Chain A
């Protein structure tokens, strides 16, 4: 037996991990140099959440996935041209600032308001997904705040697996310390899941899904509501790249025996 699901996925955008990042020197208004033109991707852990949501929706006919994303409209459009090829979703865009430095509480308030405004969404029957941290702010805070604002008091973080049961309950695996998973059973919705990597590979591009998604994405982007994020007294005193640059000793002419002997000594040294 399967039940139609309503899954809302919160996902930001972040610079492609292989890009060189350089902060601006204005600590009072921090950002990354050329951040708007850096190649961007859907935030990796949030992307895991989206792919898991789509897989769940596919297994439960009648389900629907919304993708709620905050960022500059032009940048969202650029990233979503790629993501739209992978899984079906309806976009709920918020036209706001890019990057990891805005306050998480304000970001959460904007996301919660956008979710609250989704027509026909039954919040008592909601699965709220997102990444357990972003690749930008990396605080692991925003999703919990969104859940709290929406009154969701069954929250899970570092999720790698959800197993739905016929009686409406579900089992969750959450990452905890020491390379283990905590196993929980929740008797029903609503619930919030902050995903780690999950278990799914990135879906292949599917032009048919892309065409279907783009019919709704472009109008949604045109109607995206602007959001101004209050700093909530957050102020930055410095923003910098780490200064540590090591002097690397490159050892080219030692045999495996010699390297092994050197490493044994190094491992044993206090």
Chain B
């Protein structure tokens, strides 16, 4: 019989669970119900007592808490997750594919004699020869090939991609927590803080409904034979300010910054989407001045509603990938768009 452990962790406050953690809780509740399996939830946090209030009352709740777990760090997080697993002794472990858990859970699985699969976008249970088998879906080749796979070995660790489940909403009642006590391991690493990109304004907003994708066309020569990079920067930032959109970029545009060419001043590699960048999940995406596979195929694989502004009516990368393509120059369109959005403001 399967038993399930959902591993969760707190955000920077140390006392509130992250949204992807609560999404993993939803997945755990559904899987436990489908398998009629016991569910345990493990918390890694400074203040697990407060964090536990966001959890369901039907699950057993274990916690590793205290200052050593304030910092996302390999040695301490791996020890904490392993201790939670030993206390629960589950066959299946679900956890969010956050930077914190992605760093440590492969090694935790190895330490515990388990196996791990990551970037899970869905979980299914199928009855095979009278036995319930867990099947998981994930992407290979940077979101270009989709596979369904399973394993019979246990324990099986599964990291769930953020945005693939609804976040669990607490009803206010949660079970009492059981604190797991152990001596934290020694570590050579100290986390000293966080740093936003030097370019200043934060343009990456994972919770935004809209992803705005800027391509290399913004820095190319315009009909007057000149480049208009400062104007492009103003238009893009104006759009981001007016809509609250997140900014993605093609690799070719980001790479220009490393080759001594003029480039949009607020862009870094963190904005990059595609083959060597992110594949964010947003409800809508608007690509501008992009020409190429990476932003249109890989970068917005998980964008539900997609539009593009392109000068090339025959662009093969948008055809079949975008819902609407406007054949137009993005400069005047975004200028008009910003003016309309500005006029709408109360």
Q: B344 contacts A264, CB within 8 Å?
A: yes
Cβ-neighbour of B119 out of A44, A139, A179, A256 (below 8 A): A139
Give the contacts of A202-254 with B (CB-CB under 8 A). 232-242, 245-252, 254
Cβ-neighbour of B152 out of A160, A233, A236 (below 8 A): A233
- Give the residues in chain B near A191, CB-CB below 8 Å: 188
Most buried by A among B75, B107, B111, B152: B107
Cβ-neighbour of A267 out of B142, B188, B192, B284 (below 8 A): B284
The distance from the CB of A132 to the nearest CB of chain B, in whole angstroms, is: 8
Q: A246 contacts B243, CB within 8 Å?
A: no
Q: B325 contacts A250, CB within 8 Å?
A: yes
Give the contacts of A100-140 with B (CB-CB under 8 A). 100-101, 103-105, 135-140
Specify the chain B residue showing the minimal Cβ separation from A194: B103
Given A186-B188, A238-B148, A256-B328 in contact, is the A145-B107 Cβ separation under 8 Å?
yes
Specify the chain A residue showing the minimal Cβ separation from B18: A177
CA distance A257 to B329 in the complex (A): 12
CA distance A228 to B190 in the complex (A): 39
The distance from the CB of A173 to the nearest CB of chain B, in whole angstroms, is: 7
Cβ-neighbour of B325 out of A232, A235, A249 (below 8 A): A249
Q: Is A17 an interface residue (CB 8 A)?
A: yes
- Give the residues in chain A near B145, CB-CB below 8 Å: 21, 23, 32, 100, 239-241
Number of A-B contacts (CB under 8 A): 264
Given A251-B327, A256-B332 in contact, is the A147-B107 Cβ separation under 8 Å?
yes
Cβ-neighbour of A254 out of B104, B142, B326 (below 8 A): B326
Segment of A1-9, A63-71, A77-85, A148-156 engaged in the interface with chain B: A148-156
- Give the residues in chain B near A52, CB-CB below 8 Å: none
Given A136-B141, A140-B102, A149-B110 in contact, is the A180-B194 Cβ separation under 8 Å?
yes
Interface string of A143-187 (1 = CB under 8 A from B): 011011100011111101000000000010111111111111111
Q: B258 contacts A201, CB within 8 Å?
A: yes
- Give the residues in chain B near A260, CB-CB below 8 Å: 333-334, 336-337, 339-340
Q: Is B1 an interface residue (CB 8 A)?
A: no
CA distance A241 to B337 in the complex (A): 36
The distance from the CB of B180 to the nearest CB of chain A, in whole angstroms, is: 20
Given A241-B144, A256-B336, A264-B340 in contact, is the A181-B117 Cβ separation under 8 Å?
no
Q: Is B73 an interface residue (CB 8 A)?
A: yes
Q: B98 contacts A235, CB within 8 Å?
A: no
Give the contacts of B110-130 with A (CB-CB under 8 A). 110-111, 115-119
Cβ-neighbour of A248 out of B135, B143, B320 (below 8 A): B320
Specify the chain B residue showing the minimal Cβ separation from A243: B146
- Give the residues in chain B near A149, CB-CB below 8 Å: 110
Give the contacts of B269-315 with A (CB-CB under 8 A). 269-272, 275-277, 284, 286, 293-294, 301, 305-307, 309, 313
Q: B99 contacts A259, CB within 8 Å?
A: no
Summarize A's interface: helix, strand, loop or mixed.
Answer: mixed
Q: Is A263 an interface residue (CB 8 A)?
A: yes
Q: Is B151 an interface residue (CB 8 A)?
A: yes
Specify the chain A residue showing the minimal Cβ separation from B151: A233
Segment of B41-49, B58-66, B200-208, B224-232 engaged in the interface with chain A: B200-208
Q: B269 contacts A197, CB within 8 Å?
A: yes
- Give the residues in chain B near A188, CB-CB below 8 Å: 188
CA distance A181 to B272 in the complex (A): 15
Q: Is A200 an interface residue (CB 8 A)?
A: yes
Q: Is A45 an interface residue (CB 8 A)?
A: yes
Give the contacts of A20-51 with B (CB-CB under 8 A). 21, 23, 30, 32, 44-45, 48
CA distance A264 to B321 in the complex (A): 21
- Give the residues in chain A near B146, CB-CB below 8 Å: 239-242
CA distance A177 to B346 in the complex (A): 32
* A-B contact list, 6 entries, CB within 8 Å: A135-B142, A138-B140, A138-B143, A185-B189, A239-B147, A251-B326
Taking beta carbons and an 8 Å cutoff, which residues of A are in contact with B? 14-15, 17-18, 21, 23, 30, 32, 44-45, 48, 100-101, 103-105, 135-142, 144-145, 147-149, 153-158, 160, 171, 173-188, 191, 196-197, 199-201, 232-242, 245-252, 254, 256-257, 259-261, 263-264, 266-267
